[in-house]
Amino acid sequence: MTSVPRVLFVCIHNAGRSQMAAGFLSSLGGSAVTVRSGGSEPADQINQVAIAAMREVGIDISEGIPQLMTAEAVQESDVVITMGCGDVCPIFPGKRYEDWQLADPAGQGLEAVREIRDDIRVRVESLLAGLLPA
């Protein structure tokens, strides 16, 4: 792993789960981590309910733009966190992979997205604790 861990969050549309996770890791990890996100089939925009849910906890993801996950992005990352994108994520030796089973916020109301957001926060905090020295 590099001196500054590089983390890539991947979900299908890069519009909800991966954007929320990237928002949390960027906010909590600051310059101690490099954060990217992508999707196997990027949407046109970030999920508006995910934006609202993250605003409630003081994190603004509204400027995010769904990006296509590339093999290069995976190869340049130390940790790759997938969220429901199945087998489309390329596998490279020496990378740490985790698959977070999370509900898709697409089409869900704020109450449901809050639960997903809170689950993501707990997972990101645990990930960060394992990446950075105490």
DSSP single-letter state for residue 12: S
Whether residue 11 lies in the annotated active site = yes
Strand partners, 36: 8
Asked about 70 being catalytic, the answer comes back as no
Residue linked to tokens 């861990």: 5
Whether residue 85 lies in the annotated active site: yes
DSSP letter for 125, please: H
Other C-beta atoms closer than 10 Å to the C-beta of 79 total 19
Of 21, 74, 89, 113, catalytic: 89
Of residues 71, 66, 64, 69, the one with CA closest to residue 24 = 64
The one catalytic residue among 7, 8, 10, 11? 11
Q: Which of 21, 85, 113, 116 is catalytic?
A: 85
Burial class from Cβ neighbours inside 10 Å (0-12, 13-18, 19+) for residue 76 reads middle
Sign, CA dihedral 70-71-73-78, equals: positive
Residues serving a catalytic function are 11, 85, 89
